[in-house]
Every structure is written in C-alpha cells, then in structure tokens.
Amino acid sequence: MGLTAVLFGGRLRIALVALCFVGAAVGGAYATGVIGVPSVEGVDNRFADVNQTTTVIETDLRVSNPNPISANLSGLAVDYAVGMNDIEMATGKKKGISVGQGTTGVPLRTTLSNERIPAWWVSHIQNGEHTTLRVNATVSSETLGRSFEAPKIARSIDTDLLSAFNSTETREVDADAPLVSDPVLYINETSAEWGESTSERTALELTFVVHNPNAYPVAVSELGYNISMNDVDVGEGTTQSEYVIPPKATKTIEATTYIENDRLDEWWVTHLDRNQTTDLRIDFYAKLDAGGTTLTVPLDALTYEKTFETDIFGNKAASDTNASATDSSTNETETADGNTTQSSGSKTTTTTTETTSTDTATTTTETTDTATTTTAEPTTTTTAGDTTGIGTNETTSDDGLL
C-alpha cells in the first residue's frame, strides 16, 4: 500500500468518523433538548396565475428555528396539500430547504388542475352549497429524524345561488303580437332548488305558478332557458311537454334545467380573473299558443341575475387591487368574537379571519340580487301540473403539478 493510499484512506476514514460523530452529536443534542425542534408558525395562501388548464397557488410557510445555528444540516422537506370537501385539489413537495436562525419564510408553488373544478362543484352542490377547505403541511428533518406538522387550517365556504329565485312577486308576460291582448300571462310565483347532480351535469328544478287572465286557453308548448356565469354559457335547453292553462285559471308548471359541468373549468378562470366574483344569469323564453296564434315570447320578467363572491383562502380583502369607489364607503366593525362585519348599501359580508390552529374559520359569500315587481292580479283556480325533465391519477413534482 502506497503512501498516497494510506493518506487518502486515512482522511476518508476521518471524514466518515467526523460525520458520524456530528450526526450522533446532533441526535444526542436533540434528544437531550439542547437543540430545539423547528416549528411552523403559519401558512399563507393566495391564488397567482390562472389559465385555461391550471391554477397556481402560492404559499408562504413560516418556519421558526429556535436554535442559534442553522438547522438545515441535511435539509428540510415540506409536503403540502389543499383539499376541498375531501377532494384533493393540489399537492406539492419541496426538498433541501435551508432554515436559519429565527423565522424563515419558505415559498411554495402548487398547481391545481382546472379539470378538478367540476368534481368540486358537484360536491359543493350536493353538500348544500357548502365546502370545507383544508390545508395540510408537514415538514420533515432528515437530520433530526422526525416530522412536524403545520397548524391545521380549515375554512368553510358557503354560497346561496337560488334563494332569491323563490319569489311571490307577480310579473307580467307580454306577447307584443297582433290579435293577442297583453298581458298574455301572469307569473305569480317562482321557486328553484337543486336536483340530481352527476359528474356530467347539475340539475336545477324550477317551478312557476302561472295565471291566464284571458277568456281563451293558453298553451305553453316549450320553455327554453340559457344559464351563464360571467358570460360563459354553462347550460341551455328546452322542456318539451305541453301545459294548457284554462281561461281565468292558474296552473303550476315545473321544469328541469341543467348546468353542464364540463364547462365549469372555463367559468373558474373567469371567477378568479374577477377576484373570485361571478355574475349568474338565467334567461327564459316560451312558445305559446294563445287564441289560435303561435308565438315565441321572451320571458324577460323571469330573467334571474345574482352576483356571488368567494374568499377561499380568507385573504381576498388584503389582496384586492380592484376596489371600486363604492368599496371605499364600506363600514367595518369588529365584534367581540373577532369577526369583522362590513356593510355597504344593500350588501353585507361577514368574514371570520383564518386561524393557524385546529380552529375552523368561516367565509360567508356576498350576494347581490335583481328582482322585478309589478301589480298582482287576483287568482282563484289552482290545478296540478306535470313534471317535465330534460333531459385521477396523481403525480407530484417540486411544483406540485397534478
């Protein structure tokens, strides 16, 4: 054995012994409490870039190191997941993180595939327009040989898309046609509820109480509809069964409309582009046979509009760069339980701030409704109507792309 080999072998052995000694020393120091265990102080999330296929979620993980020296040694690794109603929306993993003394912000980027939005939507509707958002993060230290979790984050996201459709306001339907006196019909009552939701489409069950003020029967042979969200067409179609409303009588018409779920990923992009705000609109038309005349009549009086907002991560107010002049007049008060109530005109939003613990925070969406009021005509006879219906494999990279 040559001198070089002896020296080289000796140095290698010394280095290995030194590494083992350091590892044992660190492990022993941790076991005896000399070295403190890093902890996660908090997690902040926000939506970043969004395009037709993916949504980027940026996260700041705040890791606290109580030790006077760097705690990275062999590095820290972070596993991260975002779930909505137990549907895993995005996951990510980052290795080799260096954490110095004190608190260090660890930036993460996870990518949500927009194809998962329809599945979440179905769960949201089936759950009574309620979503539970959960954010879980786990940090592991190879040096310390253990893992520690970030504080659990849970938020409630609720919407109310249909309640304003339930109305007893009387609205006139005008034919605007020769030989037909207006109003040709009165809509005395409307109501809506969610029907069956599948992976393909979401049913919307509508009921109309219709009065015929004429001396002749009026037949409704077709009821058409178009549903849009932020000008994205998410559903259209017609009912085909015929309803005949006798003279001076009232009848209930029931119809099933559908939202096509495969169009919701396109809507999602507009929802985020507009700072988590959506304008829902439903337009109707009817084919009528009145006094021997067949007409296609736009049911403008039944047009339904509703604006709803979400605040999924609970920090929209802080990141809102699109505040309008009307927003500056919002009055804000803080309640004893830490909630903040805002009021401006006819809008009211109550938001509970997100907690970095096992507590659950709640976000209540803000809505704006549009209604039309006309003079009601007395009605008497009521007859029952018919019911008509019209009809993941996961891979994880450093970016967390699903």
Residue 320 has a pLDDT of 55
Instruction: Read off the tokens for 24.
Output: 């044992």
Residue 361 has a pLDDT of 40
The predicted-structure confidence for 164-201, as pLDDT tens digits, reads as follows 999 999 999 999 888 888 999 999 999 999 999 999 99
Asked if residue 401 has pLDDT above 60, the reply is no
Q: Across all residues in the chain, what is the average pLDDT?
A: 76
DSSP-assigned letters across all residues of 209-251: EEE--SSS-EEEEEEEEEEEETTEEEEEEEE---EEE-TTEEE
Q: Which amino acid is at 116?
A: R
Between 117-121, 305-309, 357-361, the lowest mean confidence (pLDDT) is in 357-361
Strands (E), 198-344: 201-211, 218-229, 232-239, 243-245, 249-260, 277-290, 293-298, 304-309, 331-334, 340-344
What structural domains and CATH numbers belong to the chain?
A: 26-158 (2.60.40.10), 163-309 (2.60.40.10)
Higher pLDDT, 31 or 53: 53
Residue 99 has a pLDDT of 79
User: What is the C-alpha separation between 122 and 203, in angstroms, rounded?
Assistant: 10
Asked if residue 71 has pLDDT above 70, the reply is no
User: What is the C-alpha separation between 78 and 98, in angstroms, rounded?
Assistant: 11
User: What is the C-alpha separation between 162 and 3, in angstroms, rounded?
Assistant: 86
Torsion sign across C-alpha atoms 266, 271, 275, 279: positive
The answer for residues whose C-beta is within 8 angstroms of residue 323's C-beta and 6 or more apart is: none
Q: Which helix (H) or strand (E) holds 63?
A: strand 54-65
The listed range with the strongest mean pLDDT (4-8, 98-102, 127-131, 153-157) is 127-131
Instruction: Read off the tokens for 89.
Output: 């929306």
Q: Are strands 381-383 and 249-260 parallel, antiparallel or unpaired?
A: parallel
pLDDT band at residue 305 under the 50/70/90 scheme:
very high
Residue 103 has a pLDDT of 86
Local structure of 331: helix, strand or coil: strand
User: What is the C-alpha separation between 144 and 26, in angstroms, rounded?
Assistant: 7
